[in-house]
């Protein structure tokens, strides 16, 4: 990883955190209203769906198929979550599945940094300064690498990251008036604070969901299901289910396992925008249960 990549990723971790500090100070001075909170929630849902349904279930695991236009839209929405280019994200994540919790996993809390707090931090955000974006596209993301449109979206990541901050700023100005205060409120709440939450929830799947929580299936890795992260992660925290059946479009596998990303995919299928949706039959699930 080059020094420039490392510094860019460090900025990606630190700047939203500073935004949260600014937000706390502003909240103290009551510089937030329901309009700003609504912009933040809308941006959160849009970009978290981009990363969970788009980057993860569609583009990494091909849990369903869709039109090229829908694929590209999801690639753009996922990029707005400011987690690196779509090609890097997919390649890193496929490598995580290829080497889960063994040597070669880009972000295991159990490899190379002990099993304690240092391992936790490595899996959460430390890996961004070490292994992020180092997986070979030709080996781990060949399908995207050979798609010129995807490569273009990947190359546009810096501009899309800026757009991710610009959109809520403009929305806030439109609703609050084009003043410095209107712009700042949108930038901080809908931009930086929202990016902070999307980041840390996504990273929690890498850290918390490989350490704490429950296991159901007889598989080799250390992945876990973490129920309390399910609403925020849109269902990605049924991560043990996901490692047992990586291609499944649905990570929640029992009726009570809330899986909002799965509901989005089911809705897309009903609208005719998704097909060949991968479902794992209950009898197939039972074959992997811990005896
Ligand atoms: Zn995992
Ligand atoms: Zn996965």
Assess whether pLDDT exceeds 90 at residue 66. yes
CA 83 to ligand 1 centroid distance, Å: 16
- Average pLDDT over the chain, rounded to an integer: 95
Distance CA 201, CA 241 (A): 18
pLDDT of residue 23: 86
Distance CA 274, CA 29 (A): 46
Better-scored residue on pLDDT, 32 or 68:
68
Distance CA 123, CA 113 (A): 9
pLDDT class of 200 with cuts at 50, 70, 90:
very high
CA 248 to ligand 1 centroid distance, Å: 14
Measured in residues, the chain has a length of 291
pLDDT of residue 24: 85
pLDDT of residue 22: 86
| Nearby residues for ligand 1 (ion, Cβ within 5 Å) | 223
Which ligand minimizes its atom distance to the CA of 105?
A: 1
pLDDT of residue 114: 81
pLDDT class of 78 with cuts at 50, 70, 90:
very high
Q: Domain extents for the chain?
A: 3-287
Query: Cβ(125)–Cβ(113) under 8 Å?
Result: no
Which ligand minimizes its atom distance to the CA of 92?
A: 2
Query: Cβ(190)–Cβ(118) under 8 Å?
Result: no
Distance CA 130, CA 38 (A): 35
CA 205 to ligand 1 centroid distance, Å: 7
The mean pLDDT value for 178-198 works out to: 94
Share of the chain above pLDDT 90, in %: 89
pLDDT of residue 26: 80
CA 30 to ligand 2 centroid distance, Å: 40
pLDDT of residue 33: 87
Which ligand minimizes its atom distance to the CA of 56?
A: 2
CA 16 to ligand 1 centroid distance, Å: 24
pLDDT of residue 198: 97
Convert the pLDDT of each residue in 202-261 to its tens digit.
Answer: 999 999 999 999 999 999 999 999 999 999 999 999 999 999 999 999 999 999 999 999
Convert the pLDDT of each residue in 14-62 to its tens digit.
Answer: 999 898 888 888 877 777 889 999 999 999 999 999 999 999 999 999 9
CA 7 to ligand 1 centroid distance, Å: 25
pLDDT of residue 115: 79
The mean pLDDT value for 165-179 works out to: 95
């Amino acid at each position: 990883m080059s020094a420039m990549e490392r510094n860019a990723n460090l900025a990606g971790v630190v700047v939203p955190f500073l935004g949260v500090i600014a937000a706390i100070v502003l909240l103290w001075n009551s510089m937030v209203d329901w309009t700003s909170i609504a912009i933040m929630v809308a941006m959160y849902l849009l970009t978290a769906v981009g990363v969970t349904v788009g980057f993860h279930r569609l583009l990494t695991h091909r849990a369903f198929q869709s039109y090229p236009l829908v694929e590209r839209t999801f690639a753009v929405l996922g990029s707005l979550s400011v987690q690196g280019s779509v090609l890097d994200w997919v390649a890193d994540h496929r490598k995580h599945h290829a080497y889960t919790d063994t040597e070669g996993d880009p972000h295991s809390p159990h490899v190379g940094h002990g099993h304690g707090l240092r391992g936790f931090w490595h899996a959460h955000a430390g890996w961004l300064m070490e292994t992020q974006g180092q997986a070979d596209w030709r080996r781990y993301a060949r399908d995207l690498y050979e798609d010129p449109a995807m490569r273009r979206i990947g190359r546009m990541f810096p501009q899309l990251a800026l757009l991710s901050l610009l959109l809520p700023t403009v929305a806030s100005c439109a609703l609050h008036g084009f003043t410095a205060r209107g712009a700042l409120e949108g930038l901080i709440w809908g931009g930086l604070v929202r990016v902070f939450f999307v980041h840390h929830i996504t990273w929690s799947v890498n850290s918390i969901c490989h350490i704490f929580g429950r296991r159901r299936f007889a598989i080799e890795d250390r992945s876990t299901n973490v129920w309390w992260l399910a609403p925020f992660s849109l269902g990605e925290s049924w991560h043990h289910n996901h490692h047992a059946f990586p291609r499944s479009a649905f990570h929640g596998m029992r009726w009570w396992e809330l899986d909002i990303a799965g509901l989005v995919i089911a809705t897309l299928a009903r609208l005719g925008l998704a097909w060949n949706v991968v479902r794992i039959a209950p009898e197939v699930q039972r074959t992997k249960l811990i005896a």
